Amino acid sequence: MTTSADVARIETGAAIAAATRRTSWLTAWQTAILSAALIVILLALVIPPFVFLVQGSFTIAGPTPSSWTWGLGNFETVLKGRHIVTTTINSVVFAAASAALALLVGWVTAWIVERTNTPLKPLAYLTAIISLGTPYILYVTAWLLFFGKAGPVNHFYRTLTGNTDVLINIYSMAGMVLVEGFLWSPLAFLLVSATLRNSNPELEEAARVHGAGVWQTIRRVTMRLSLPSIMALAMLVFIRAVEAFEVPALVGLPGRISVLTTDIYTNMVARAPPDIGGSSALSVLMLLLVFVLLYVYGRLSRHAERFATITGKGFRPRPFDLGRLRYVAAGILVFNFILLLLVPMLMLVWVSLLPFFQPVSAAALKLISLNNYRTVLDSGQLELMLNTLMVAVATATVAVSLTFVAGWLAVRRAPGGWIVDRLATIPLVFPGLILGIAVMQLFLAVPIPIYGTLGILVWAFVINYLPYGMRYSSSGMLQIHRELEEAAAICGATPLTRLRRIVAPLLAPALLAGWLFIFLMSARALSLPILLSGPRSQMMAVAMFDLWGNGQGTELAALGLMWSMLMTAIAMVFYFVARRSASGALGRA
């Protein structure tokens, strides 16, 4: 039986339902629209560099643009050239040896710092933090000065023995490995200590309780547990060393030891006109190599995460009591600190005070002045700093904004979220130098007038650092309990409101850490901007590279020291933010 009241009620119900259907359309599609927009943006950023690089590699240059043809000629030239084999072997040997060295130093220091009662632990962090802010090029030049022919090491050796030869020839494969290994060891330290912190100390304690001694526990539990993540880390450092540019360019080129990156570089700059085709072909081959290596890395790190048992209790394990050995361990930390931080810094300070390079001696003391600093401040170097800061700030802001939304879409499995995730991670395969070549060709072909401006640098840097931003954003997202967002949805908040009022504030520490990381990385990068910087868009690291090339080592030292002081201050902030955000994202970068 249907009464009129029932009919009325059913009608209102239908009316409400219809109204809801109309408004619900928009809110239900908010996420989808956001996802689609992001996919479009990421496609526009990530795909063109590939296309133009591949196109460049198949283009055979002729005397005029109209005579350009397509073909495999570039690849033939590259592969037939006799030294492709030597170059590749050099690359692999260099990368493997320096990764091994960096990890050895990094693991030993990390274990001492995280798991023992050794005094003077802050020294290790100090070394690592300052190295985060210092451009690699500055470090490399410092060690070149220190170990070089006229540097204190060889000078001392000659005075001591009366010989005229050198003790260490830094311009050799061994020298390259040494410097690259030193460069990477502070970061290896931070990465390893993050994994050690994430591992469950109860597993070690269980071994101790059941009768294992310190060394047995290390060998049979700690080492075995951290092996997968160490393998993954080794792979990561290996890949980064294959892509390295600073050391091969500054140490390898003078020593006539060429690797893949320097080959690409010399094809571009040491010939007139630049051999874009040859460089592109070599770049494509190298991309394939990096792709394979990254695939292996992905497998290794997935394996590593099985053992990463984050307890979330936040308690520190009882450190191993090393007894008297802890003074030996402290000695290692001090030695590490001296070699990785004090020596290069003092070397730079010494050089920056001299009019021209001289070995350390009493006679040289008379020449000391602040003239270099004055020259640096008087010349246009301030604009240079400003340029670099602007590019770094813009890059970090754009990359973090994009990856904030991307990370949310990916972790919450929004429609299209996995595409966003893939797209934002793809640029990992680009070594900086190759991305530079690709973006260069892109903007030579596309009629957007940003070639030679800071804009092109920001464009390229954003692509380069998207994967890092993604790591910070998604590992931060994973720590935000799903129910915190669901509760907001139940309360009536639309997806955009949720993103603004719940996700953004909670993700802020991780995003800030990501922002600072990208800022620091782009402020010191050399290989990406080296081919993209024009006269009006100089970057700090590129300028330092040029100063070194022109033999203005003393000015370089003065400029570099001032710059790294500023960057160290920012790196300090970064370090504390990253620790507080507790995202452990540093360990996954």
Q: How far is the CB of 487 from another protein (least distance, A)?
A: 4
State the minimum distance, in angstroms, from the CB of residue 189 to another protein: 32
Nearer to another protein among residue 30 and residue 397 (C-beta):
30
Q: How far is the CB of 16 from another protein (least distance, A)?
A: 5
The helix or strand, by DSSP H or E, that contains position 54, with its residue range, turns out to be helix 4-58
Q: What are residue 244's DSSP bridge partners?
A: none
**Distance of closest approach, residue 28 Cβ to another protein, in angstroms:** 5
Q: Name the site residues for another protein (rule: CB under 8 A).
A: 9-10, 13, 16-17, 20-21, 23-24, 27-28, 481, 483-484, 486-494, 497, 501-502, 505-506
Report how far residue 192's alpha carbon sits from residue 233's, in angstroms, rounded to the nearest whole number: 8
Residue 346 C-beta: closest distance to another protein, Å: 46
Residue closer to another protein (CB basis): 117 or 497: 497
Q: How far is the CB of 516 from another protein (least distance, A)?
A: 20
Closest approach of Cβ 30 to another protein, in Å?
9
The number of CA neighbours under 13 Å toward the Cβ of 221 is 21
* Interior/surface letters 302-335, b for 16+ CB within 10 angstroms, e for the rest: eebeebbeeeeeeeebebbebeeebeebbebbee
Taking the least distance from each CB to another protein, the nearer of 220 and 482 is 482
d(CA 299, CA 264): 29
Q: How far apart, in whole angstroms, are the C-alpha atoms of residue 80 and residue 166?
A: 37
- Joined together, the tokens standing for residue 71 give 């073909």
346 alpha-carbon distance from chain centroid: 26
Structure tokens at 49: 């560099």
Q: How far is the CB of 479 from another protein (least distance, A)?
A: 11
What would the DSSP string read from start to end of 452-479? Answer: TSHHHHHHHHHHHHHHHHHHHHHHHHHT
CA distances from 134 to 152, 213, 281, 383, 564 (A): 22, 41, 33, 19, 5
Residue number, 271 or 501, with CB nearest to another protein? 501
Q: Name the residue nearer to another protein (CB basis): 55 or 497.
A: 497
- Nearer to another protein by C-beta: 104 or 491? 491
Of the two residues 378 and 483, which places its CB atom closer to another protein in the complex?
483
Going 226 to 228 to 232 to 237, the CA torsion angle's sign is positive
Residue 95 CB neighbours (<10 A): 23
**What's the min distance (Å) between Cβ of 370 and another protein?**
49
Residues in the chain: 589
Minimum distance between the CB of residue 573 and another protein, rounded to whole angstroms?
A: 21
Q: State which amino acid sits at residue 352.
A: S
CB nearer another protein, residue 17 or residue 368 = 17
Cβ atoms of 234 and 272 within 8 Å: the answer is no
Q: Which is nearer to another protein, 251 or 488 (CB)?
A: 488
Q: Which two tokens stand for residue 38?
A: 């992001």
Element (H, E) at 350: helix 343-352
The minimum distance between CB 51 and another protein, in angstroms, equals: 36
Tokens 């690291």 identify what position? Answer: 541
What is the helix (H) or strand (E) element at residue 342, kind and residue range?
A: none
Q: Which is nearer to another protein, 9 or 422 (CB)?
A: 9
**Of 23, 402, 476, 578, which Cα lies nearest the Cα of 484?**
476
Give the integer Cα–Cα distance in Å for 142 and 339. 11
| Residue whose CB is less far from another protein, 219 or 501 | 501
The residue (of 29 and 125) whose beta carbon lies closer to another protein is 29
Say how far apart CA 216 and CA 574 lie, in whole Å.
37
What DSSP string runs through 304-328? HHTT-----S-PPPPPB--TTHHHH
167 CB-near residues (< 8 Å, 6+ apart): 153, 154, 157
Token reading at 306: 């099985």
The distance of closest approach from Cβ of residue 13 to another protein in the complex, given in angstroms and rounded to an integer, is 5
Sign of CA dihedral 217, 222, 227, 233: negative
8 Å CB contact between 112 and 329 = yes
CB of 491 to another protein, least distance (A): 4
Please give the backbone phi and psi of residue 20, each rounded to the nearest 5 degrees, phi first: -60, -40
Nearer to another protein, 12 or 163 (CB): 12
Q: Smaller CB distance to another protein: residue 364 or 506?
A: 506
* Backbone angles phi and psi of 42, in degrees to 5: -65, -40
- Integer CA distances (angstroms), 125 to 53, 152, 199, 564, in order: 40, 27, 20, 16
Nearer to another protein among residue 401 and residue 494 (C-beta): 494
Task: Tell me the sheet residues that pair with 70.
Answer: 59
Least separation, in Å, of the C-beta of 485 and another protein? 8
State the minimum distance, in angstroms, from the CB of residue 413 to another protein.
13
Q: How far apart are CA 240 and CA 479, in angstroms?
A: 28
